[in-house]
Each structure stands twice: as C-alpha cells, then as structure tokens.
Structure 1
Amino acid sequence: MAEEPLPLPHNRNNAVTRGVWRGEDGLIHKVLTHRRTDAPPQWVSSADPRFWNYWRREADVYTAGLPERLGLGAPKLAEARELPDGDIELLLEDVAGTHGEDLTMEDIAAVARALGEAQGAERLSSEPWFSRGFLADYSTTRPADFALLEDDEAWSLPLIAKHFPPEQREALVRLHRNRDRLLALMARLPRTVCHLDVWPNNVIRRPDGEVVLLDWAFLGDGAVGEDAGNLVPDSFFDWPLRPGFAEHLPELVTGAYLEGLRAAGWKGDPRLAVLGIRASAVKYDWMMPWCLRAARDDLHRAYGTGEAVDPDARYEARAAGLAICARWADEAVDLADSLGL
C-alpha cells in the first residue's frame, strides 16, 4: 500500500474509513476497513449490506459503475485493491474544480438540478447493498441531550442568545416534537436512489460545469427530495455565513431540483418532491441540542481537521441553517395536512 504523504480532511470518527490521502501517483487513495474498533458508537461500521454504514458500500458503488448508471458525476475509478488484511483501497481521480466552501449559490443550484435529473429518470432498480432506512437510523442515533431544549440556562448562554432568538427556539422545539411524524412522512414519499450525504464537502464542480459527487458510502433508498433537502442546511453548518445564502439558497435549490425532475420526465406530484425537501429537515433534529452542549462546554472544532474555529462565526452560520430546518419542518407539516398525509 502507498505511503500517506498528504492526508486529506475526512470524518475520522467513521469506522469504515482507515484513511484518505493524495498519493504521489496523482490519485486520491481511500482505504475502506472493517477492522476499526476505536469509533464512537454513532459511527460504528457493519457487515450488513443494508445498514447505512456498511463498510464496503463505496467500493461496491464504484466497481458497479453506479454513478454513471444513475447519470451522476463521480471521480473516475483507477483501481480497487483488495488488501492482504481484507481492507479495500480505492484509487480515484483527483478531480479539479470548485469545491466545498468555494461553491457559489449557482454551483449548489446546479447540484440540485443534477440530482433532480438523475432521480426523476427512474433508470435503476435496487442493489442488495443499497442502504435502507438511512434517515431514521442516522438522525436518531446522533448524540444529543434533548432535555437541553427545555433548559433556559442553556439558551441564555451568550453565544446562543446572540444567534438564536426566542421564536427560533420555539420552532426548533416544534421540530423535535414533530420528529416522528416527519420521519413517517419521509418513509411514505415516492422512493428513489439517493446519495444521502450531499453537502459542499462532497461536491466538486468541474471547470466545464459538470457536478461531481464524492463519498458514496451511504447510498441507497431514499425519498424524492431528500438529497436536495440535505444540501441546503448542510451548506451552512461548517463555514462562515456568506451574504445572500440564507435568503436565496432554499428556493434556488428547490426550484432547480424540480426543474431537474421535470427535465427527466418525472410524472409525480411536484408537491410531494417539495414535501421531501422540507421534511428532510428532520435529519438535523439533533443539532440544536448538540450546539447547546458545545456552547456550554466550549467545544468548537472544524470538521475533518479538529482545528479550533471562531465560535461566533460558527454559530451565526449554524443558526442560519437551523432556522431553515425549523421553517421547513413547519412547512412540511402544513403541506402534509393540505395533502391529507
């Protein structure tokens, strides 16, 4: 196996990943493992192909040529190596383009349209290694002390009081109280093949405009709108808030996704796709309690590197993302009521 000269940021908690780095051969090396025992409980891996954190799913995605079959961009696979210890090393194209926090609103809207075009085409049946029940399994296993939602002292912390007004607290409490209904609605919506981890760190837009998605480890059964719904709040949580994003990104992504569905010939009720986008906000039900605890314990670290970040900038952005989640959850309930769901 190659040396690891330039480690790349990734979720080091996830037990399915042994390492990601840029090799001297100009390729991205990613080792998938089934042998890690040091992961926290919410990031344990599994040998069950239907479990959301099945350890070798990403290798299956690439070797089956699934992104191309879906009509979605992905890094080209140079090689998938079975290692002597049973792990798998993926050698992937080092894609050039705009990535992460450098993506503009136009870029993110292009991601949503590409998702709509792929998910509206219904061109692929299920594979045995598709994840099942991702949204409920993932969102309800994040470490969160929901009692903090009712803790006035936690909400009065300066960092929280500055960025989360009382009306937002009330909306986020409603989100939590509606969690079971929102999850049930997502389970009832039309099904499609979802990436299930679409956020700016997993997106590169090539200079020619093609959208490339990274990290296919969670892929599987999901609701129409679920990927597009995740894309919006997760464009806020880990970077400083950028001008115009909170005001315009939610509707840009919604419109672009619906355009993609229409272009692909999707015949479903567009209101159901909007419901999927809105109700997907339930994925982040756990984040407000997590923010309250982090503010109390002064825990402010960057995703993938663990480096300290500016708490004020972090909470301004997270408040913007969570405000969208709270509003969308209310809209989902209203829309479901109007549809008789």
Structure 2
Amino acid sequence: MSRLEWHDIPASVRAQIEDVLGSPVVEAVSQPGGYSPGSADRVVTASGRRAFVKAASPAVNLDTPTIHRREAAITAKLPPQVPAPALIGAVDDGDWIALVLEDVEGRHPATPWQPRELDAVLDALQQVAAVELPADVPVVDAGEALAGFAVDRWQVITPEVVPPLPRGLDAWTRTHFEGLVDAATRGVSDARGDRLVHYDTRADNILLRPDGSVVLVDWPWAARGAGWFDALSLLINVRYYEPDTDVDALIVRHPVFEGMPADAATNVLAGFAGMFLASSLQPDPPRMPTLRTFQRDQAVVTLELVRERWQG
C-alpha cells in the first residue's frame, strides 16, 4: 500500500483540520495497514490534543472521498453506546475530504487470533447488535448491500473465468456455480434485520485498548441488518489467519450467533465469496497493489467455509 502522509495533504486542508482541532499540529505519525491509499495519521497539536485524521482526494483514488464522506455522515450519528471513535469534525472543500476522529490508544488484535481477544471482540459485536439503531443514522439495508456487493458480482462471473484456486476449489466452484448464485441470492433476505451492522469486521478494523475494551473503526459500510452478520463475517478473518479454526465450534459456543439459521450463514457466506472472487479478477486500483491478492485469498477462505457447510 502506498499511503499518503500528513505533509502530502494540501496546506489549505491541513489548516482547516487544525481549525477543527483548535491548535496547530506539531506531530503526525502515519499509520500502516488497511486498504486505503489516503492518509491515516495520529496527530498531536501544540495544545496536547490528540486525534486521528484521514484524508483523500479523487486524485489519490476515485472511490475514497465518497467512502470518507459516507463514513463522516454515519459516524456523526452513531449512538454513544456503540464502541466507535467519535467524530470530532470533518473538512470538505469539494475535492479533499478529511475526517478528524477521536484518537484511540490501542492495538489491533493479534493474528492468528487469540481465543481471549476473539471472545472480547465477539462480545463487542453482541453489544453493537443490542443497540437500538436510531432512524436518522444514514445506513443502508444489509440485504440490499449484499445484493449489490455480492449477488451482482456473481452475475458478472461465469464458470469459465473462475481462476485456478488451491485444494480443488476452482473445480468445486464451477461444479456448484448455479447453487452458489442461488444461495447468495437467498442470503439477501437472510441478511436483513433491524440491528446495526458494521459490515467490514476484520482485525485491521478493530482496536483493543490497554484495558481490553474493543473499538470498531472504519464505518463507511454500516448497515441495518441481522444481529449475527458482523460476527459471521469476522469468522472469515479468523479462518484467513488460522486455516485450522473450527468455525462451527465458535458458532455453537458464543451467544452472538443465537438465532442464526445454519442455512442463512451458508447463504451469506456464499454472497461474500462472490464479492471477493469477482473483485479479485479486476485490475489493480491505483496505489493499491496488494488489494486483489488479498481479495483472492479471502475468496479462497470463504469458498472453503461454504464447501464445508455444503458437505456437512
């Protein structure tokens, strides 16, 4: 990833960010990780105030400013019970968009995932699912999102363009292609609900504070959907880092999965598999040379989960 740094942001935009913070920035430390080419800096002002700032323009990546604007609108409306960084303010000059967020002192979960940290994150996702979602939070319907991100992606793939995949997954995918599309289509209704959904739960979107509490960051894809949706998608990330993880045992053990039908889990995973697979076949976006490989690896993990459940 080729990420912008603080000094790459235009001086006029930096000055507006400093106005939001009420003091000049005297230190900025770029944060690695993630899959955005925009800036991501933990900053300190002359007054000692700390914040996290991320910024981008269409020249950096065409999609990132739209994503940042969506995140600003959502984060500003999240209920205080949601473990998310507070939005301090936003700067938008029509070209550059910068989010100024609460700085979180924490670290990403260890990968491969450790049982205690995974339990803490699943507990936090259960807490998010229990929050009553106000009507004015500008989130989309999780089913509609899955239809757009996942089912529609299956429609642009044909069995003939399924790339070589390990452990015979390419042949299995071709053989079960129509069944996968049908399952993903059923997942649209399975994903619907009235709970807050983060929609992008991965280790790099989660911080653990020193006291062990969990903070979910990066909210542009938030949706209204099934209370178990985030926990299920997190298991893709868990299996990504530890191929021997017994996913079904985790589902049985943690109460966040209570009420999740087994076929609904399979259907939603089939949707994610289509999203990852189709995305991995696209050209590399500017300044993001590792994204397609990551998406292919996630497609492999998710297809394997679906195959296990299919055979079970």
Relative to the length of structure 2, the TM-score reads 0.69
What residue is the counterpart of 1:266 in the other structure?
none
- Note if contact 2:227-2:256 (Cα within 8 Å) is conserved in structure 1: no
Q: Distance in 1 between matches of 2:182 and 2:175?
A: 13
Q: Distance in 2 between matches of 1:27 and 1:232?
A: 30
Choose from 200, 204, 212 the match for 1:201.
Answer: 204
What residue is the counterpart of 2:148 in the other structure?
137
- Note if contact 2:125-2:230 (Cα within 8 Å) is conserved in structure 1: yes
| Secondary structure at the counterpart of residue 204 of structure 1 | strand
The number of equivalent residue pairs is 278
What residue is the counterpart of 1:169 in the other structure?
171
What residue is the counterpart of 2:253 in the other structure?
255
Q: Distance in 2 between matches of 1:44 and 1:6?
A: 17
1:18-47, CA deviations, whole angstroms, 9 ceiling, x for partnerless residues? Answer: 53222244432123x6x627746xx5876x
Q: Cα offset for 1:230?
A: 1.0
- Note if contact 1:225-1:276 (Cα within 8 Å) is conserved in structure 2: no
State the percentage of identical aligned residues: 14
- Note if contact 2:197-2:223 (Cα within 8 Å) is conserved in structure 1: yes
| Secondary structure at the counterpart of residue 20 of structure 1 | strand
- Note if contact 1:10-1:20 (Cα within 8 Å) is conserved in structure 2: no
Closer, same or farther: CA 172–75 of 1 in aligned 2, 3 Å: farther
Q: Distance in 2 between matches of 1:205 and 1:176?
A: 41
The one-letter code of the counterpart of 2:268 is S
Unaligned runs of 5+ in 2: 1-13, 18-24
What residue is the counterpart of 1:11 in the other structure?
35
Unaligned runs of 5+ in 1: 47-52, 263-269, 335-341
Q: Distance in 2 between matches of 1:104 and 1:305?
A: 29
The one-letter code of the counterpart of 2:245 is E
Q: Cα offset for 1:196?
A: 0.8
Choose from 111, 117, 120 the match for 1:101.
Answer: 111
Q: Distance in 1 between matches of 2:202 and 2:195?
A: 18
Closer, same or farther: CA 80–173 of 1 in aligned 2, 3 Å: farther
TM alignment of 1:192-341, pairs within 5 A: 192-237=195-240, 241-242=241-242, 245-253=243-251, 255-256=253-254, 259-260=255-256, 270-272=259-261, 274-281=262-269, 282-288=271-277, 306=289, 319-328=300-309, 330=310
Matched, 1:124 2:146: no
Bigger shift: 213-222 or 92-101?
92-101
Q: Cα offset for 1:5?
A: 5.4
Q: Cα offset for 1:217?
A: 0.7
Closer, same or farther: CA 27–223 of 1 in aligned 2, 3 Å: same
1:171-206, CA deviations, whole angstroms, 9 ceiling, x for partnerless residues? Answer: 575265332443334425543221111111111122
1:221-264, CA deviations, whole angstroms, 9 ceiling, x for partnerless residues? Answer: 22232211211113344xxx43xx533244315532xx1476xx
1:150-179, CA deviations, whole angstroms, 9 ceiling, x for partnerless residues? Answer: 469x53xxxx3xx3226x732575265332
Q: Cα offset for 1:112?
A: 2.2
Relative to the length of structure 1, the TM-score reads 0.64
| Secondary structure at the counterpart of residue 102 of structure 2 | strand
1:66-88, CA deviations, whole angstroms, 9 ceiling, x for partnerless residues? Answer: 3x33xx322344x2133444734
| Secondary structure at the counterpart of residue 84 of structure 2 | coil
Q: Distance in 2 between matches of 1:10 and 1:308?
A: 10
- Note if contact 1:114-1:260 (Cα within 8 Å) is conserved in structure 2: no
Q: Distance in 2 between matches of 1:185 and 1:8?
A: 34
- Note if contact 1:196-1:222 (Cα within 8 Å) is conserved in structure 2: no
- Note if contact 1:225-1:275 (Cα within 8 Å) is conserved in structure 2: no
Q: Distance in 2 between matches of 1:231 and 1:279?
A: 15
Structure with greater contact order relative to length (CA < 8 Å, sep ≥ 6)? 1
Choose from 41, 45, 53 the match for 1:21.
Answer: 41
